[in-house]
Copies of this chain bind each other. A is one copy, B any other.
Amino acid sequence: VVKREVVQLITPGTVMEGRGLQDKENNFLATISYFDDEMYGFAYNDLTTGEGKATLISGNFDDVLNEVSILGAKEVVIDSKFDIELQKKLRDRNVMALSFEDSSSIDRSFSHLLEELHQEALKKTVSRLFHYLYRTQKRSLDHLQPIKMYEIQQFMKIDYFSKRNLELTETIRSKGKKGSLLWLLDETRTAMGGRQLKQWVERPLIDQKQIGHRHSLVELFIHHYFERQELREKLNEVYDLERLAGRVAFGNVNARDLIQLKKSLSQIPFLRQILLSLNSEVSNDLADRLDPCEAVTDLLENALVESPPISVKDGNMIRDGFNEELDRYRDASRNGKTWIAQLERMEREKTGIKSLKIGYNRVFGYYIEVTRANLHLLVEGQYERKQTLTNAERYITPELKEKETLILQAEEKSGELEYELFTQIREQVKEYIPQLQALAKAVSELDVLQCFAQVSEERHYVKPQFSKDRKIVIKDGRHPVVEKVLDSNEYVPNDCFMDNEREILLITGPNMSGKSTYMRQIALSSILAQIGCFVPATEATLPIFDQVFTRIGAADDLISGQSTFMVEMLEARNAIVNATKNSLILFDEIGRGTSTYDGMALAQAIIEYIHRKIGAKTLFSTHYHELTVLEDELLKVKNIHVSAIEHNGKVVFLHKIKEGAADKSYGIHVAELAELPKELIKRANELLNQFEQKQQLLEASNMT
């Protein structure tokens, strides 16, 4: 009876290879600890790359949920006594598995990974994660990087709803990457770069110096077209160093993986050289971080052949000359084979049978084969008959069998030795994991920055300026994704101007005209600016926003039981409660989900509240024409509208934003475009006229 032990538990958050893993996406395992003083510890780790971070979040579990969503963590490790209600909330955020780990003691085996953390709560939070990892993985986790501390306040905050509404990393409709901002941006050349890009898109910066540093490099790359193309070509040859390092630590790399590692490392000197040739401080700094790890390259170059097989047990991995003992076995085997080739030649000469050949098969080993027609040419007694075929006989001789034994034994031993040598090489590479990880980090940053340059140049983006006095000046701004999908000559760019006198823009206009697109493009431009990319405009000055809030139409969720209007109000509340003077709010048709008058009342109350209490930059689109009078009542509210013209009795949307309120409504025209029956359209026009006359009479009667 063989005793079987569990050697590894593979969970959604600890998948190391195979179908569950996307090249350009991290696979984060997260953990949450609750501490007495209304504080949550949050930490995460990607087992494939070894990267991990931790933070403390005060009071608000929504902020914790937000972190889980940003990471797209599929598994969260918690204490088995973790609050049931909060567990349910986690499950609602697409967490596939909640796993339990009760120990959060700081163990010596991983204390070196906690050195950058100073608070006890942080250390405990991370310890729970490590206890869980060691318990499930039961093996070397040498590639784990020291956990870094971060604070959610260091980044622009974009809540779950807004991230979804703005389609930053996936579209609302298909939940796929295609059509998202990430999809538009992804000109990265390496898998690591792809993951870094996603992380940056999820967490725009708010520190002007950090943003400026990225912009400088992007600008530099834009101005050096040929160098950039060269960088891109070289990056193409760099494999996933981060995950290779992880697999080295895990012990599941083969010789081909190590050859990939070597090839990747051999690109690094070229990358350095190109960066240095740009002769700028920022690129020199980046070049300095590109350590080619020559010791690893040399080792692998000397040890491994160029095209080793997939299996590590079949030999043919190690170069001749690397190991004396191995060379001896190989000589023996090769000599044996040469001897057999010579024997074939000799036997042909001796017997005069030109078709005589020496073959090998599994059952009989090496044999001499002679066709039936030539049998009479063989000298009797020298050959032992082993097998009869239709047209030939097969023979062996004692010398042949002797050499055969020699060859087979040498092959067996050299295979074993190669495996042993390979294991040693792998262990040596393991020593360099920290350097490889630092290198991977630098390469991925380089990759994302060249990607920003590539997209910015191709799509004619401009370097944004940052305004200290919260001013927005966008000339010829575009929605980056819609612009890409439409033909460029179909797309109508739009300006945006907001300052201390124009805090809230009230947008009216028909529904097909692109109000939401306009609102979204302002938010996306700010996000692009703050992740370090250029923005789709000919001129752009922007504040640095601390938060972005959106309430933009979403689909009913029949099953979850929350109606559109409740979701609408929850999203509105989230913005109103958390926004500051430095935030950006997009409200699309707030109040539409209920009946006319109380919807209108709510919309107006919300505008007044933002105007008086918050002062955040706000774009508010509405169908309630009645609200446009607010421009006269509230100082910082301005009306803008989307223009349309009538042409041959049909309506043409110009998708152009203009000052002032829209002066007509176009619903019936859209109905006409959709070819509803003519008499129905005629009747609707009659009714509209009646309604409008009534309203005019009402206003004339001076009751407004």
Q: Which residues of A contact B (CB under 8 A)?
A: 167, 171-175, 179, 362-365, 386-387, 405, 408-409, 412, 481-482, 485-486, 508, 510-513, 516-517, 520, 552-559, 561-566, 569-570, 572-573, 576-577, 591-602, 604-606, 608-609, 623-626, 665-668, 670-671, 673-677, 679-681, 683-688, 691-692, 694-695, 697-698, 701, 703-704
The answer to whether B405 touches A511, judged by C-beta atoms less than 8 angstroms apart, is no
The answer to whether B553 touches A556, judged by C-beta atoms less than 8 angstroms apart, is yes
Tell which of B595, B670, B677 touches A667, judged by Cβ atoms closer than 8 Å: B595
The answer to whether B666 touches A598, judged by C-beta atoms less than 8 angstroms apart, is yes
Copies per complex of this chain: 2
Take A625-B596, A666-B598 as given contacts and tell me if A573 and B676 are in contact as well, using a CB distance cutoff of 8 Å.
yes
- Which residues of chain B come closer than 8 Å to A596, judged between CB atoms? 596, 623-626
Shortest beta-carbon distance, A62 to chain B, in Å? 13
Take A677-B609, A688-B601 as given contacts and tell me if A594 and B555 are in contact as well, using a CB distance cutoff of 8 Å.
no
Q: Which of A386, A598, A608, A681 has the most CB of B within 10 A?
A: A598
Instruction: A553 to B553: give the CA distance in the assembly, Å.
Output: 10
Tell which of B482, B572, B594 touches A623, judged by Cβ atoms closer than 8 Å: B594
Instruction: A605 to B676: give the CA distance in the assembly, Å.
Output: 11
Shortest beta-carbon distance, A402 to chain B, in Å? 10
- Which residues of chain B come closer than 8 Å to A482, judged between CB atoms? 558-559, 561
The answer to whether A570 touches B674, judged by C-beta atoms less than 8 angstroms apart, is yes
Contact sample, A vs B, 18 pairs, CB 8 Å cutoff: A173-B555, A173-B557, A175-B175, A511-B563, A511-B593, A512-B565, A576-B677, A596-B596, A596-B624, A597-B665, A600-B687, A602-B667, A602-B668, A602-B684, A604-B683, A606-B676, A694-B698, A694-B703
Residue in chain B with minimal CB distance to A172 = B555
The answer to whether A688 touches B598, judged by C-beta atoms less than 8 angstroms apart, is yes
- Which residues of chain B come closer than 8 Å to A691, judged between CB atoms? 597, 600-601
- Which residues of chain B come closer than 8 Å to A668, judged between CB atoms? 598, 601-602
Shortest beta-carbon distance, A627 to chain B, in Å? 11
Instruction: A413 to B171: give the CA distance in the assembly, Å.
Output: 60
- Which residues of chain B come closer than 8 Å to A179, judged between CB atoms? 558-559
- Which residues of chain B come closer than 8 Å to A174, judged between CB atoms? 175
- Which residues of chain B come closer than 8 Å to A666, judged between CB atoms? 594, 598
Residue in chain B with minimal CB distance to A482 = B558
Inter-chain pairs besides A594-B670, A598-B684, 19 sampled, C-beta below 8 Å: A172-B558, A175-B175, A363-B412, A386-B405, A485-B559, A485-B561, A508-B595, A511-B565, A516-B558, A573-B674, A576-B680, A593-B667, A595-B625, A596-B623, A597-B695, A599-B623, A599-B667, A605-B680, A609-B677
